[in-house]
A and B are shown apart, each in its own frame.
Chain A
Amino acid sequence: EDQVTQSPEALRLQEGESSSLNCSYTVSGLRGLFWYRQDPGKGPEFLFTLYSAGEEKEKERLKATLTKKESFLHITAPKPEDSATYLCAVQPATSGTYKYIFGTGTRLKVLA
């Protein structure tokens, strides 16, 4: 069964304390892996797409990486405004292009 698991469920960091969020997946073929940021009371906002193992994408303090079984979202020197829930979604290659499987997210809190 296709599955996406994110860890940890919640993470508290001090401002400037770097860390990584994990998204592990089990799918029979990967069409794409997506990272989103969701602020309280808002819809998910797209961050990155990764398509193949070894690929990396960067945006400001965020860097996403991909292996054959998992993806990491590295946060370098985070600031309080990085506090949000980060969602991972996988698009299986064996399903139609409509299908995405979402993880339950990691709630990140960055303390000043």
Chain B
Amino acid sequence: NAGVTQTPKFRVLKTGQSMTLLCAQDMNHEYMYWYRQDPGMGLRLIHYSVGEGTTAKGEVPDGYNVSRLKKQNFLLGLESAAPSQTSVYFCASKITSGELFFGEGSRLTVL
């Protein structure tokens, strides 16, 4: 049972490049999330989804887009990467209540 899987685990981009982070969960969870984690700050919510075909903005959505075309997948896109988007990104999922299940993280560096 893989749980929540994130790809890639590491990526280096140049300013202005685009990329997509993929999150896949095999637990049939309804809710999926993208957070970013920066030193000295708590996990901050970028976007989330309460079900297939739905997405919503979180606390820090600017510069990011998401899609949830299939229930098990949640994609995070950066259209034009900026150095301020250097961070560790975590995907999480859950049923409708209770605790979050996190992936291992994707470390992104934007030069």
Contact = CB atoms under 8 A, between A and B. Distances in A.
Interface stretch (B13-21, B40-48, B69-77): B40-48
Interface residues of A, number: 22
Interface of B: 4, 31, 33, 40-45, 48, 50, 56, 90, 92, 96-105
A101 B33 CA distance: 13
Q: Which of A4, A46, A103 has the largest count of B CB atoms less than 10 A from its CB?
A: A46
B42 A41 contact: no
A8 to B, nearest CB: 14
Contacts of B40: 104
A93 B4 CA distance: 26
Contact of A42 (B33, B45, B100, B104): B104
A91 B92 CA distance: 15
Nearest to B107: A41
Contacts of A99: 45
B104 to A, nearest CB: 5
Contacts of B92: 43
A45 interface: yes
Given A41-B105, A43-B105, A34 B42 contact: no
Contacts of B101: 46
Interface in A76-90: 87, 89
B48 A46 contact: no
